[in-house]
Amino acid sequence: MNQVDITLPDGSVLEFDEEVTVREVAFEIGPRLGKATIAGKVDSKEVDADYVINDDVELEIITIDSEEGLEIYRHSMAHIMAQAVERIYGSDEVQLAIGPSIEDGFYYDFDIPENFSDNDLEEIEAEMQEIIEEDLEIERIELSKKEAVEKMKDLGEDYKVEMLEELEDDAVSFYQQGDFIDLCRGPHLTSTGKANAEGFKLLNVAGAYWRGDEDNKMLQRIYGTAFPNKSDLEEHLDRLEEAKKRDHRKLGQKLDLFSLHDEGKGFPFFHPKGMVVRNELIDFWKEEHRQAGYKEIKTPVILNQDLWKQSGHWDHYKEDMYFTEIDKEPHAVKPMNCPGGILVYKDKMRSYRDLPIRMGELGLVHRHERSGTLHGLMRVRNFTQDDAHIFCLPSQIEEELTGVIKLVDRIYAPFGFNYRVELSTKPDKAMGSDELWDKATDALREAIEANDLDYKVNEGDGAFYGPKIDFHLEDCLGRTWQCGTVQLDFQMPERFDLTYVGQDGEEHRPVMIHRAIFGSLERFMGILIEHYAGAFPTWLAPIQTEVIPVTDDHLDYAYQVKEELADAGVRVEVDARQEKVGYKIREAQVQQVPYMLIVGDDEIEDKTVSVRDRREGDLGAKDLAEFKAEIVKEIENRA
């Protein structure tokens, strides 16, 4: 046999006299790496750990502690769960749909005569542990598409048949463990025994329409989480328990911020306290954007259908849009703000001297999200995007992108968020030539690197009109949320024939940058509620100070304190109820009021207030003027 040369990511080359598996290469590099190897990438294609290399290749080892390794591990756990379900309920009674890995876990969708209950999960977990202990070999099987369809028909797996019939590949792969077989491209663990029987937990059962379409059958989805070691699982479960306590839907009701009603499913109702938080975010946004050179605009919610066809949204978003008829002409409720901003740009002739033009819009948009995907403020059918559109010269792209990145930093800073960056490239369904896409993608990459940001490439997840940079916020529980986005667009200026008069007196095409930082006000508020567990920083708190008189004899002084603080711009209330002081303090703490000012005889005599912090408790007596100065400074600094 010929010598096999394997090139590693660092450029070094390993030489073997004969064929070798991925895992054997890993052991050659080092025992620790070999033991941790879960799969590999051969010439950029993911393969199993026992994949045989018999030719010169480039190889990257995938270890179980890597992001890719965890995805493979969890996908294998999804197969183990599906096998357990078939064993318990019978393979003739269960049809398999899909079972992917997801962030921190996995799920599998089943078509089964009777719905699962949460009580069934314990029995399924026990069967999964049995399958792991059996240490069944996980074998990859490759069949032609025709053979695969026949096999799935024989097994009565209608969903798999539907998936296979849509594939264009002539050959497909299955993975088999014991008597269980599943359509899957892999890779997987080499045996069920490689999974940790104490490192997983089934979490809950939910309904899920096949392929997310309400016209399709409702399936049963079981969610689980899995880690290679028990301690990581326990830590994750603790975070999940904390997340339940922070659920923005419960806290939104408890703190009287917003409500959801069947009369408008997916359309949130904001209460007075919620509007305080919302308006503070808007004021902050407007202040930062004015300083960054943006001019605010407002565009209509409903526009003629022809506009959406011209923009491309008709082809890519039609199923998620709302429609109406005006003067016997079809119109659509906007799912995005971009076309409106374009019309404002086109309203008059532009010169190169005018560029860049930065237009900001807090625009209300509507999208027909499926009912099963709605989730509090996180997934709604109408929301306000903090959009902005920058029209610039090609020579201004890097400077404008850098300006956006710096603005993102300034806006996220008061909330204490760390974030990571992803560069998303051309999707399968995209407008425009590869040349323009490559040009736009390179420009975004250069801007990221020029600003010394670490980033990950997210292949194929760009917008249909251009690549994008996404900003993923990390909250106090370590969860990440995609909020900010920057999209570089050469397509819309072409479709709408946008021009400017250049220095040479000729018409030229501007470049368009789409960007949002909050993403949507609704979702950002939901994230903040959970991030702070409802205890907003003082500048955001609906009520910043509660004045608590000891008895009714102290009410007049309490209202004097309120008036002085209110005149300084502090949101302040007096609790005048005939309740005990301790009860009022506890109520204020439950409502997450940052400061409580208790006033009685001593405070009236000394012109002071007794200050309590919602977290630190009693801070002692302070001169009213001193407290006022401190809280005003805290609010102004957005501390």
Has residue 583 been placed in a domain? Answer: yes
Give the range among 272-276, 475-479, 540-544, 616-620 with minimum mean pLDDT: 475-479
pLDDT, tens digit, for every residue of 114-136? 899 888 999 999 999 999 999 99
Catalytic residues, by residue number, are 338, 367, 385, 387, 389, 468, 514
Across the chain, mean pLDDT equals 93
In order, the DSSP letters of 160-187 are HHHHHHH---SEEEEEEETTEEEE----
Mean pLDDT to the nearest integer, 207-214: 85
469 lies in the same domain as 414: yes
- In this structure, what CATH number is given to the domain that contains residue 57? 3.10.20.30
pLDDT, tens digit, for every residue of 144-202? 999 999 999 999 999 999 999 998 888 999 999 999 999 999 999 999 999 999 999 99
460 lies in the same domain as 557: no
What confidence tier does 1 reach under pLDDT thresholds 50, 70, 90? low
More confident residue, 417 or 541: 541
> In terms of C-beta density within 10 A (0-12 exposed, 13-18 middle, 19 or more buried), how is residue 353 classed?
exposed
Mean pLDDT to the nearest integer, 569-588: 96
Has residue 571 been placed in a domain? Answer: yes
211 lies in the same domain as 192: yes
pLDDT, tens digit, for every residue of 531-549? 999 999 999 999 999 999 9
137 lies in the same domain as 277: no
pLDDT, tens digit, for every residue of 228-275? 999 999 999 999 999 999 999 999 999 999 999 999 999 999 999 999
Q: Does 514 show up as a binding residue in the annotation?
A: yes
125 lies in the same domain as 195: yes
Has residue 265 been placed in a domain? Answer: no
pTM above 0.75, yes or no: yes
403 lies in the same domain as 283: yes
> Do 110 and 220 meet the contact criterion of CB atoms below 8 Å apart?
yes
Reduced to 3 states (helix: H, G, I; strand: E, B; else coil), residue 464 is coil
Has residue 268 been placed in a domain? Answer: no
- In this structure, what CATH number is given to the domain that contains residue 120? 3.30.980.10
- In this structure, what CATH number is given to the domain that contains residue 351? 3.30.930.10
What confidence tier does 489 reach under pLDDT thresholds 50, 70, 90? confident
315 lies in the same domain as 429: yes
pLDDT at 214 over 90: no
Tell me phi and psi for residue 42, to 5 degrees.
-105, 115
Segments forming the whole domain that contains residue 191 = 68-244
Domain end position, chosen among 477, 504, 532 = 532
Domain end position, chosen among 509, 532, 555 = 532
pLDDT at 287 over 60: yes
Confidence at residue 2, expressed as pLDDT on a 0 to 100 scale: 74
Has residue 49 been placed in a domain? Answer: yes
pLDDT at 413 over 70: yes
317 lies in the same domain as 420: yes
581 lies in the same domain as 441: no
pLDDT, tens digit, for every residue of 30-74? 988 888 999 999 999 999 999 999 999 999 999 998 999 999 999
202 lies in the same domain as 290: no
In order, the DSSP letters of 271-331 are -HHHHHHHHHHHHHHHHHHHHTT-EE----SEEEHHHHHHHTHHHHHGGG-EEEEETTEEE
Has residue 249 been placed in a domain? Answer: no
- In this structure, what CATH number is given to the domain that contains residue 602? 3.40.50.800
Q: Does 331 show up as a binding residue in the annotation?
A: no
Confidence at residue 149, expressed as pLDDT on a 0 to 100 scale: 95
484 lies in the same domain as 512: yes
Asked whether the bond before 339 is cis by omega within 30 degrees of 0, the reply is no
Domain end position, chosen among 33, 63, 93 = 63
Confidence at residue 461, expressed as pLDDT on a 0 to 100 scale: 83
Q: What is the dihedral of CA 553, 555, 558, 564, to 10 degrees?
A: -120
78 lies in the same domain as 146: yes
> Do 164 and 185 meet the contact criterion of CB atoms below 8 Å apart?
no
pLDDT at 106 over 70: yes
